[in-house]
Structure formats: C-alpha cells, structure tokens
Structure 1
Amino acid sequence: MAQRQPIVAVLGHVDHGKTSLLDHIRSLGERTMRQASVAARESGGITQHIGATEVPASILNTICGDLVGERFKTSGLLFIDTPGHHSFHTLRRRGGALADIAVVVVDIMEGMRPQTEDSIRTLMEEKTPFVVALNKLDRIHGWESEVNRSFAEGITHQNELVNTLLHEQMMKFIGEIASIGLNAELYTTNREVRSTVSIVPCSAQTGEGIADLLAIVVGLSNTFLSGRLETEEKGRATILEGKDVRGLGRVIDAIVFDGTFNKGDTIAIPTTSGVRTSTVRAMLRPRGMSEMRDAGDRWDDIDCVQAAGGIRISCHIEGDIIPGGTIITIGESDEKEIIEEVGMSGSIDIETRHEGMMIKSDSIGGLEALSMELASADVNIAAAGIGPIVRKDVRKVAAMENPLDRCIACFSTTALDEARKEAEIEDIEIIEADVIYHLIDAIENWREKVGEAIEAAQPSLTMRPARLLILPNHVFRRSQPAVVGVRVLDGMISIGQTLVHRDGRRVGALRSIRSGEEEKTQAHQGDEVAIAIDAGVVGRNFDEEDTLLGDLTEEQARLLIQTGNNVGEDSLEELLRLKRSKKHFWAR
C-alpha cells in the first residue's frame, strides 16, 4: 500500500509569522534546488499547492539531515498555511483532525495570545503532536543573527546577557503553556518528546533556527506517524472552500488526504441541499511559487493529484458546498456507499433541543467545536447551521419566548445586512467572534446580563396582561429606543415586559415608563404615559394607533390562572386565545 506524506498545519495568532515562516521554508527549498544537479532538480523541488506547500524528502534531508541524524521516512511534508485562525476547525474530518502534525507559531516577545491558546487546546483535544516555533528570535535585544544558521550553533555565539533575556522569554512561555496543562522544554534538552512539547526558537526573517524546526517536525513524523500514512486508491479530500470563479464556474478548494483524483472522475460532494455528484472538469494548482491568495491568473492545469496535496477542482454543482465536508471519487459499483459516507461527512451531528440558542459557523468543524464548548457551559442549542446568518434564521429565533434563547452565536462567520436589520427589529442578539473562547466569554456575559435583567424585572411573577393604545401624534422618538405616548386600555404594564401585536408579532421590551417628570415601574388601566420600547421602530414594527398586548411567559400566565387574579382579565383571555392558537396546551 502506498504512503502519503504527512500533513502539517501551521497555526498561530495573527501577525506572529505563520506565512512568513512558510515563505522562508520555500526560499530554502529554492536555494537548495539551485545548488543541486540537473537530475536532482528534475526529480522535483518544493511545490506550491492550494493553500499548501509540499517539501520533498530530498530537500528536507539536505536542509536538516545533519540535525535529524536519520533520513526522512516518507516522500516529504505537506505544510498547510491557515491564514485565518478558524481554518484549523475547517481542517477536520469525521474521525479527527486532517493534520497529522502541527507547528504553532508564537511571537517570542508576545508569548501566548488568545488564538495561540485556542489552537493549542484544539490540538490537545484532537491528540495532534505539535512543536512550538518561538518566532522573531532576532527581536531579542543584542541577538547576533546569521542567515539560516541553526539555533543550536547560534546560541553558542551569544553573550551572557542575551542568553539570559532569551531564557526569560522562554520561561515565560513555558509558564503560560503549563497553565493549560502542558509541559514544554527547549528542544535541545527535551528527552521526553511523547509527553513534553518541544520549543524551537527561530526567525522567519533571517532563517535562523528554521532547519532546527524542520528537523523536529521530521522527528515527530518518524516518532508518531509510523504505519499511519498508508493511502488507498479511492480519492478523498477535505473541502476548504467552495466559490464561483470567472471562467471556471463553481470551484472547490480542497486538501487531498487519501488516494488519487483524476480529471474526468465522478465525485460526490456534500452541499446544504444534500449530496450532489459531478464530473471533475479541471484540476488546478498555482503556477510556480504563487500562493493561492495571490495566484491571479497564474494556474497550471493538471490531470492527476495524489495524497497529500492541495487542489482546486472545477465542476458543475448546485447548492452551497459545505466546508469541512469530504469529497470522494465514485467507482462503478460503490456509488450508494460513497454517497452515504459523503452525506455523513457533511451532516450536522449536534444535539439540539426544543429550547436554546442558534449557532452558525463557516464549517462543520467550527460548529462541532462551538457546540462542545457550549455543552460544557450548560448552554442548550436549538438550531445549528453553516454559513452566514440569513433572515430566515432570525425569524426562527424570534419565535423563542425565553429571553436567554433569543440569540444567534456566530463562529468565524457573520450576518447578512438584511438579517442584521431584522434582528434589530426583533430584538435578537447576534454575537460574533473568530476565537472560540472569546465567543464563549461573550455568550456567557450576555446571558448573565439578560439573567440580571430578568431578575430585576421580578415582579415578573406579579406581571399582569395588558392592552394599550399607541396615541396618535405622540411619537417622541422613532427608534433606539422608540419613545411614544400610550393609553393603558386594560390590565397593567411593567418595566421589562414584552409588547406584542394582537397577532403575536413581537415589538420589543418596555425599557421605561414616565408620567410627566415621574419615572414609574408600572402603569394601570386608564393611565396615559410615555414609554420607551427597546427594538421598537415606529413605522417599521409598529405604528401610531396600533393596539398592543403586554406579553406574559407561560409560567406567569399559568400562575395568574391558578390564583384567579382578575387584573387585566380581558387582556389575559385575548392573550390565551393567541398563544393557544399556536400551541394548544400553552399555560394549561
């Protein structure tokens, strides 16, 4: 059985030097090939793939063979640059991470940052071996740099003060990584590579320590991946992105992790509309050393790609392609099984409940990661989806009665403008972040704030139903919040109470009640007062002379029915008819 090269993900915080590190590795490869014989050059140098860089074993052995002390056991390494932090969550497939090994790039002067911690925690969960590249070594004050020198040699040329400064920065990082449950040590003294993370000080700017880093990656591969890199004939690839490109139509950027893809193959593709099949019309790679993001029109058409490799596939496909799903080639007799496997790869396997918040992400992996974190925080999920928030999502969440469920959390995606406007009208909270722990913190902070507001409004169990009229010519402010004059026709309104139309459409929550110069917490039948309505927009979700109802939760309504309280009796009857027309056993 053939062996593929290991897939190495390069991760880290923004501006810590991930792409610069890969740029330097490519430059080392180019220099090595220029120095090689014609025959050696023809055997292949570093190849740029879609979002990936393939470094052959011959170049690895030339660059770092002396440091490794052994020959590399596979055909090379495939490095994947993750320009967006969230990309690592996309680089997952059913059953674990797509990457076999990872390099976590850390600015030696800044140390652990939120995206660093997020990346390391994800690697720990996936049990992916990794090395820390402590980058920007040249920023240590007084460090005497030499281009492309090994760190092991470079450290011997520094004075005592510089060595002390370097030691301090390393110990600071070792303390930070220990706080999340890991041991780390400078690679030159690390004798327990299976239990202790190796740290390699380096500089993507000067190349110092890059050979050491490659040597450690090769060592990790030889130590951890023996017997785990066999490939089958059938092609399998993880989707990074699907998009439309002028001249090519629909294209899929993907990482091939198993088998072979050929032009003309029939493939199964997961989409939001189900599994679709298509023929590979073309496969492309960026020409020369171009990055995918900078390739422009410089692409080479290829007939075949083998694992592991990055590729752009042109095919005719309808529906939104699911990032993180798997593409598989279809043979003559296995179409049913393959379609089932692809469908599973694109399915959202997340436990949802009748009540809870909605979550959205840009990929399957992102959704799964977010759902696991929310489960740990005891937050229920009612719905989950891939892609940006659309208006339909907002309308679905607007039907939730519990204020703690009126929220959509977005991990590495966003909301369309029309959905954002609808959310403002419906008083739906949208929380967005590209770092998963930032998102969890924001959700918990919002839930705490809403919980406090609910508690502050308790007289909530003494709230009463109400019917009120928006008085004509009494609009004092149209939105944010809307401030209008009203007459309470029946019952009693209270601060914190939600106002709805008589058909159930939500207007917003009562922020304040004022009679003349006096602030009030309640207003009763016959009172004429000015009220402020959060999320209310005059002319959009309510108008002058509308009649609105003061809403109740099911628990509040049930308590009023049980106690026989007759304040707002007519309003309660109307509210019960409205609620029970949609949910027969409401408050029974």
Structure 2
Amino acid sequence: MTIRQPIVSVLGHVDHGKTSLLDYIRGTAVITHEAGRITQHIGATEVPLEHVNKVCAKLLGSRKFTVPGLLFIDTPGHHSFTTLRARGGSLADIAILVIDINEGLKPQTLESISILKRFKTPFIIALNKIDLVDGWVTHPSTPFIISEKTQSEEAQAALSEKLYAVVGRLAEEGMSAERYDRIENFTKNIALVPISARNGEGVPDLLLVLVGLAQRFLEENLKTAMGPAKGTILEVKEERGLGQTIDVILYDGELRQGDNIALGTKGKPLLTKVKAILKPKPLDEIRDPRDKFDRMREITAAAGVKLLCQNLDGVVAGAPLRAFKNNQDEVLKEIAEETRINIEVADNGVMIKADALGSLEALAYECKRADIPIRKYETGDISKRDIIEVSAYTDPLHKVVLGFNVSMLPDAKDALTTHESKVFLNAVVYGLIDDYQKWVEEQKRLAEAEKRSLVAFPGKIRVLPNCVFRASKPAIVGVRVLAGRIRNNQRLIAADGREIGRIRSLRTGEDVLKEAIVGQEIAVAIEGATVGRQLDVEDILYVDILESEIKNLQDYDLNLDEKETLEQLLEIKRKADPFWGM
C-alpha cells in the first residue's frame, strides 16, 4: 500500500478567483526541469511535495509530510465537482472554496457549500483578494502570517472586519469558521486562509493547510493498492490526429497499455481495450501541436491522462472506468451500480437534461428541494425530439426542458418556433431553478388575470361631486373605485337594489380603459341612467353579479375588500330573496 496525493477541487462564485488561484499554482515553478517541478496532467495539475516544501519553507519548521503532493483538478467550479464522481461520492478528497473577502458569500458560494455538504467533502476557505483591502500593502508569494505583521493597524483592522463578516454569514448557514492560525480543533472549525491569488500572497499558507489536513485526517482514504485502475471520465472528445479520446482522472491502482477496461455509458457498461495512454508534454517541449503528448506504457494513481481505446461508443462524462483481468462480471456489476441514477420521476413533470451523470443528479436534487416534479431525465444536448416530446405534456407549466450546462441543437431551436414548449438553459443550478420558478409564477399570474377577465368580480364605486360631464344618453360621471374592480358592459345597482344601468366605457383623460381597480378615479359612461333620476352625486353603486356566477367566485382568491363588497352585495340581494346566492 502506498499513499497517493490527495485530489483537490476548487469551487466558488464566478469572478471570485478560482481560475486565478489555479493559474498561480500552475505557474509557481518557473524552471521547467527543476527538481519537484509542477507537472501538467490531463484535467489536473500535480504539485509534488518537494515543491510544497519549497514554497512553504518559511512556515514548515521541523514538520515533515508523507503525502507525495497535491493533485488539483483543473476545471474549477462546482460543475466539475458534481460531474467527477467516485465511489458514490465526489472524486475530490478535499476542496478549496474561494470567496472574495470584499464581496462575501454569493449565490454560487451557497450552491458550492450545499454540494460540499451533500458529498460530505472536507474543505477549507481561501479568502481571496486581500490585496484590495483598504491600506493593505502586497508582498507577493509571502505567507499571510508573515505579511500581516508588516501591515498598518488600519489595514489589519480592515481585513479583520471583512474576515469576521464572512465568519458571521457562515454562522448563519450553520457553519463554524475561523482564521486558520487561530484554530485549535480543525474537526470543528472550517479554516479560513486569507490570500491574493493574483500575486501569491497567502498561497504558501493555503498549500500548507491543505497538505497538513490531508495527512492528518485523510491518510486512510489515500492508500492505493497496486491493483487494477479505478478512475472517473472527465470528458469525451475528438482530438485532431487521434480521433475520439477520453480524459480520465485515475484515483486508485495502476493502468497499463493493453489493459482491458470497462466504461460507464448511458446504457450497459462498455468493454474495451486501452490502445494508448497519453500525458501532456511540458509546454517548452511542444514543437508541433500534433505532438503535444507523451505516450506512457503505464500510469499510477492519482493522475490525469488521455486514453485511446478500441471503442468508445456511448461513453459519458462522469462515468466510472475500471480495469479488470479475471473479474469481468464483478466489475460490470460495480459499474452498472455506480452509473445507475436514482432520480425520482412523476407521471407529470418537466424534462431535465445535463452534460454528465453527476450534473444530472445535482439538478435532480435541487429540483426535488424546490418541489419541481421530473417526468424524464437524460444526459446530452437538447434535441428536436425533446422539444416535440415536452410539447405533448398536458400541463402547460410542465412543457419545459431544464438544461444544465448543455446547449440546444440547431434542429431544437427550429422546433421551438413551431411547438408550444419552453427551454431554460443555465450553467448554475440555482439560477436554472430560479429562472423556472419565476416563469411559473408569471404564467400563473397571467392565467389568473385571464380567468378574472372572464368573470364579474365584486366592485363598488362612488359618484364624485362636481364631476357630472353628461346627464344622460349615456350619463358620464366621474367616480372613485372604492373596492374591487369594474369593467365595460357590467351592470350597476344602487345600495337599495335598484338597477342603474350598464357601463358603456371607462376613461382616464384620453385613455380608454378595459378595467379600473380600487383607488382609481375615472370617468364612466353609464347606458340607461340619467343623473338626477336613477343616480346622483355621492351615490354608492355596486357591480351587479348574476346569481349563477356567485359560486364561481369561490374558486378565486378574493382579497379583503373584494370579500367585503361581495358580502354587501349579498345583503342587498337577500332583502328581496333571503336564499339568493345560496
């Protein structure tokens, strides 16, 4: 049993510095051929222990580490985190959550925290952009705890204020956090490491904490046997001059050219053979873009590699890879179990699509939390068939495809113009759910408004003084809507039950209105009424509702003034017929 390097994922809100941090870590070894150089893998960057020791020399003292280094997954963000699954959890052994110390927690930060909790992945927080804190004087590549001592009291106070604002927000989310050098028990507190990804300040502290925590708490998980390889497919893609390839992160065992492997697909696991194992050459060795890989006879975990195989039909990102010898049935059963997606479906619901198995599960998880039923789920881009299929769903609010990190194929865009379907695309799960929920609320509001437009609702008006514009044929008077609403063609009655006439039109200034609501003062033309006979100034008039429509009003959510007006109308009507409207 040997100890492999822990696999590290970097998460956080857009523009908070995930990519800048990875770029800085990748670029810290300037001399390509120095001992302990940083090497580039497919989809990952290997930082060996010698390099960590060199960068952290001022902080190490007599401490010694046994983990061989760190393997950073290059694709930053929660998306890659959910895509890269292993052993039923996340591929990452530990994660860095990057937060802009000046902006604090943002929507994607909260989404990242939710994902980390769900996968039970330990993480530390890099509080980035300390170089933008008021008064802070930057010391490139210097450990934070050394740099802080050189800062003015004002700068230290400004940083402390921002840091503890983040601590407070994390406490609201149910997490206890503290600056890493002030923590006594790392199992009870999340470590905060102030850094500047742009110039490397605080990065030594970050690497030291990562390696220290990995060695102290994860060593058992990092033991790897020299057995058949286990890995996760990062991406399936065409490579010029090579054809279809798969990028894989190996997290256990060893892989050799010629090995038999099983790969996860949308259907049954695929059996194939490794034709070539490719690893990127250092940048200064690339002479020709077609010759940017070194061919390896074998590779040991943990590593990121590109594989050429005899067959890759149907293979999907996020699926497992297993090498096998005499245990084919056992491996096939294991892969089938790991690629089986446990998503609850309903007879009525939306369709969801994502680019990988893990992303699909993440979207389904958030849909369930938001009470959005799912009728069908698939990986891959949105097709014409998807658009046609959801257009046949019965509920208009379910004629929807939610697409997480996918695109619409051209024929799907064409189909959308002729089919009653709706597509939502977003690279952020929370954003996707939020977009759909806002649309649902708007559709419900529009449907309610349309239903209301066909129903006579309670309404009460008062004829205003000094606002008689015409006495008859039709009478035109100024009124104030006291409760509910009034519309064209509605009949009006007086408080004693007398019929007054029918509303012919509603105006405000030069504008013709379809309806007037409570609080509005408008001019009303009333057919069949004469001022001084059927109605007069200060009269209170009610919308006359047919008895057959009274029961329909129970289906609507009447507001308080509409309910009061309806009660008053019932009282007026029941003077002549005690059972009216019952």
Report the TM range for the smaller structure's normalisation. Answer: 0.7 to 0.9
Select 1:236's aligned residue among 214, 230, 233: 230
Q: What amino acid is the match of 1:398? A: S
Q: In structure 2, what is the equivalent of residue 247 of structure 1?
A: 241
Structure 2 counterpart of 1:178, one-letter code: A
Deviations 1:255-286 (A, max 9, x none): 10111111111111122343222211111122
CA drift at 1:312: 0.7
In the alignment, is the contact (CA less than 8 A) between 2:350 and 2:401 conserved in 1?
A: yes
Q: Counterparts of 1:291 and 1:145 in 2: how far apart (Å)?
A: 34
Corresponding residue of 1:562: none
Choose the corresponding residue for 2:120, options 101, 106, 127: 127
Equivalent in the alignment of 2:319: 325
> Does the CA-based 8 Å contact 1:32-1:59 persist in structure 2?
no
User: Which residue does 1:287 correspond to in 2?
Assistant: 281
Give the unaligned 5+ runs of structure 1.
Answer: 35-40, 463-516, 521-588
Q: Which residue of 1 aligns with 2:203?
A: 210
CA RMSD of aligned residues (A): 2.7
* 1:123-202 correspondence runs (5 A): 123-202=116-195
1:549-586 residue CA offsets vs partner (Å, 9 max, x unmatched)? xxxxxxxxxxxxxxxxxxxxxxxxxxxxxxxxxxxxxx
Answer yes or no: is the 8 Å Cα contact 2:18–2:77 preserved in 1: no
TM-superposed deviation, 1:413: 1.2
Q: Could you tell me how far 1:289 is from its partner in structure 2?
A: 5.0
**1:85 shift after superposition:** 4.3
Q: 1:269 aligns with which of 236, 251, 263?
A: 263
SS at match of 2:394: coil
Matched AA of 1:187: Y
Judged with a 3 Å threshold, the aligned counterparts in structure 2 of structure 1 residues 85 and 122 are, in CA distance, closer, same or farther, namely closer
Q: Deviations over 1:428-473 (max 9, x none)?
A: 11111111111111122122223334444548999xxxxxxxxxxx
- Tell whether 2:226 aligns with 1:224: no
The Cα offsets for residues 353-399 of structure 1, whole Å up to 9 and x where unpaired, read as 22111101111111111111111222211100001111111222122
> Greater CA deviation, 51-60 or 156-165?
51-60
- Partner of 2:499 in structure 1? none
C-alpha distance in structure 2 between counterparts of 1:81 and 1:318, whole Å = 23
Q: Kindly indicate whether residue 253 of structure 2 is the aligned counterpart of residue 259 of structure 1.
A: yes
Amino acid aligned to 1:404: L
Moved more, 295-304 or 205-214: 295-304
Distance 1:13 1:362, change over 3 A: same
For residues 64-116 of structure 1, what are the alpha-carbon distances to aligned partners after superposition, in whole Å with 9 as ceiling and x for unaligned? 25535522222211111224541111122352111010111222323222222
In the other structure, the counterpart of 2:6 is 6
In the superposition, the TM-score normalised over structure 2's length comes to 0.73
Residues 392 and 379 from structure 1, CA distance in 2 versus in 1: closer, same or farther, beyond 3 angstroms? same
Which one of the candidate residues 373, 381, 388 is aligned to 2:366?
A: 373
Distance 1:283 1:216 in 2: 33
* Letter of the structure 2 residue corresponding to residue 5 of structure 1: Q
Per the alignment, residue 429 of structure 1 pairs with 422
Q: Which of 439, 449, 454 in structure 2 is aligned with 1:446?
A: 439
2:40 to 34, 48, 51: 48
Q: Which protein is bigger by CA-based radius of gyration?
A: 2
The residue that corresponds to 1:335 in the other structure is 328
Give the distance between the partners of 2:448 and 2:266, measured in 1 at CA.
40
Select 2:353's aligned residue among 344, 352, 360.
360
User: What amino acid does structure 1 have at the position aligned with 2:45?
Assistant: T
Provide the identity percentage: 41
Structure 2 vs 1, CA of residues 109 and 219 (structure 1 numbering), >3 Å: closer, same or farther?
Answer: same
Structure 2: stretches of 5+ with no match in the other structure: 456-511, 516-582
* 1:242 shift after superposition: 0.3
2-structure distance, mates of 1:131, 1:33 = 31
Change over 3 Å in CA distance of 1:460–1:404 after alignment to 2: farther
How many residues get paired? 456
Aligned to 2:294: 300
Tell me the residue number matched to 2:19.
19
Structure 1 residue matching 2:134: 3-state secondary structure: coil
